[in-house]
Amino acid sequence: MDKLAVVVNTFEEENNPDFSDPLVNILKMLDVDVIEIHGHYGENPLDYGASHIFLSGTPTTSDFALSDWDTQTYIEGTYSWLSKCNQPVMGLCFGHQMIAQLFGGEVRALTRMRMGHKNIRITQSEGIFKEIRELQGYIEHRDYVIPPKEFIDMARYNRVCHAMKHPKRDIYGLQFHPELSGKIGEEIIKRFMDLPFEGQGTTSYTLYTSDKNRQPSKEKIPVLEL
């Protein structure tokens, strides 16, 4: 099977020029067949024969924030296809937060938006980060994640997880934007596309699902001051 990258636009609007477009352009530069679909419209990348899947970031002007209760509930239903996915998956920024939420981690609010190129320390130099100790990565986010317990925390900036990986599958979450991080970001995307594709089917892992009777916690979770 030839490689086909499917970029899932996670922005609630149809066009996402800030984040989806640069990613698509890099994939085309790498001579990868690529299509873009819209996740919030219920489009499923498995229906397109994807070999590798990207969950895009969203602009900070988006009404969606995974630290909000309604967004968490919506995402758990709309992106449940991840439970049937054997393909490598890379979630970027909001996509990274979605993976954390779907697999039982937490998404919390920062005191203010973080933006710009930052020095990100790689704590696990393996997989797509092999032989990389640090990098200048572009960030633009207002929430942060506490990774699911079983996930491997792979990178940090200012006490916040900026990359994580499922322990058994090639499911990566990156809080930073490799598509806006220059040559090192392009190399990370290329390495991801070089990961083997094992075929489509039901995986050995399951997603975190909310109890239908679960109610938002009345306890005010403190935001992280950095």
What are the catalytic residues?
93, 177, 179
Distance between CA 37 and CA 180 in Å, rounded?
20
Do the beta carbons of residue 48 and residue 208 sit within 8 Å?
no
DSSP summary character for residue 17: T
First to last CA, the chain: 46
Token pair recorded at residue 69: 């209760």
Do the beta carbons of residue 90 and residue 172 sit within 8 Å?
yes
- Determine the number of helices (DSSP H) and then strands (DSSP E) in the chain: 4, 9
